Structure formats: structure tokens, C-alpha cells
Structure 1
């Protein structure tokens, strides 16, 4: 009886580990990939460390501006700058592209950029 119980426990453990390991690489998306976000990073000022180009898209029925947090990261993945700001107002069904200065000119420490929408106005 102990042998059967131990066998069933082993099968249950193996099944649990197998299920926990399932999933596709598409589940979380790739780092830096943004799909349906209303504000996206179009260009990160890597090598210059000074600007980030963003595109805001409005799917709402009224003119909308987005309250956003911008992030600049160095090669080690550490945040070197962060700015909270409001995007320009975007007309319904339209997109607006804009640039933000975030680092000193000539600062080459920036390697990647990201943006997070905190709310709308």
C-alpha cells in the first residue's frame, strides 16, 4: 500500500511540474515589445541619451491626452532617468508623434527606453 501511495504521489508531482512548465513564448511577449498600448516608444536615443520619440493613439470618442511615465535604462538594465508627463492631446481615431528630452546631450549611458500609461486626461 505504501508503494502504491508513493507511486501516485510521484505521478502527481510529475504532472504538476509538467503543467507548470507549459506555455508558449508568446504568453508574456518579448522584452520591449508593446502591442496594443496607446503610447509606444518609436525611437530611443541610444548612443545620444537625449531623446525619446513616442506615438500616442486615441481610441476614445473625445480628444485625449495620456499621463505617462518615461524610463531610460543603461546597459545593465538600471534606470538612469524617469520623467512623468502628459502627452499632447490626440483627436479621436488619430495618432500624434512627439519627442521628449530626458538626458544631458552627449550622455551615452542610455541603452533602452520604455513608457507606461498612468491615466488619461
Structure 2
């Protein structure tokens, strides 16, 4: 009995570890076009950060549902040490079924050298 409990606990731990590794931070600089092929409904297609540039990111949101949909998303910027430096919660405009919208979101001005971008979909409306 104890052996089966250890196996279940181990499997749950591996599942949690896998989920955490999938939810990692975005990369520095422009994203490649391969990243734009993700099956996530909202993705970062460009992360612009740098010395005295401030921070911005281009976002694409795709509606794969049968009805017009808006996404509630949280945008993150992480500093060079990996700590969250800035975040914005926003809702996209309604997107027609099968359509994609692209927009740019600006973060903080100033020196953002070494920062990275990430996005999390909080829900749909």
C-alpha cells in the first residue's frame, strides 16, 4: 500500500513539475516566427526591451470558438534577474470566430536591458 502511495505522489510531482516548466518566461529580443505557430490563443510575437528603449510587446490573439470572444490576459515583464518588474492586466477587443488580432502593449519607459516578456490567458469573455 505504501509503495502505491509513493508512486501516486511521484506521478503528481512529475505532473506539477511539467506544468511549471511549460509555463516559463518568454525569451529576450524578437520572437522567431516558429514561436508564432503556438496553439495558445494569445501569444507574444515580439518582445522589445533594451537600454533606454523601455519595454513593449506585440501580442496576437486568435479566436478558435464559434462565437465572438474577448480574452482577459495578464502581460508580464521580467527584469534581468528574472523578477517580475511590471505587469498589465487587460482585455482584448471581441474577436470574430476564426480571426486573429495583433496589437502592441507598452510597459515601462527607461532602461529595460536584459528584460523578458511573457503572457498568461486568465480567461475568455
Q: TM-score, normalised to structure 2's length?
A: 0.67
Residue 116 of structure 1 is matched in structure 2 by 120
Residue 88 of structure 2 is matched in structure 1 by 83
Residue 36 of structure 1 is matched in structure 2 by 39
Cα deviation for residue 36 of structure 1 reads 2.3
Unpaired stretches in structure 1, ≥5 consecutive residues? 1-11
Structure 1 residues 3-46: Cα deviation after superposition (integer angstroms, max 9, x where no partner)? xxxxxxxxx9xxx9xxx7xx9xxx54594477421100111122
Residue 71 of structure 1 is matched in structure 2 by 76
User: Which structure's CA Rg is the greater one?
Assistant: 1
Distance in 2 (CA, whole Å) between partners of 1:57 and 1:41 is: 12
Distance in 1 (CA, whole Å) between partners of 2:104 and 2:122 is: 18
Cα deviation for residue 108 of structure 1 reads 2.2
Q: How does 1:5-44 map to 2 (within 5 A)?
A: 28-29=21-22, 31-32=24-25, 35-44=38-47
Q: Tell whether the 8 Å contact from 1:49 to 1:110 is kept in structure 2 after alignment.
A: no
Say what the alpha-carbon RMSD is for the aligned residues. Answer: 3.1
34, 56, 59: which one aligns with 2:61: 56
Aligned length: 105
Q: Does 1:46 align with 2:72?
A: no
Structure 1 residues 58-102: Cα deviation after superposition (integer angstroms, max 9, x where no partner)? 001111110110100011101110110111221100111100111
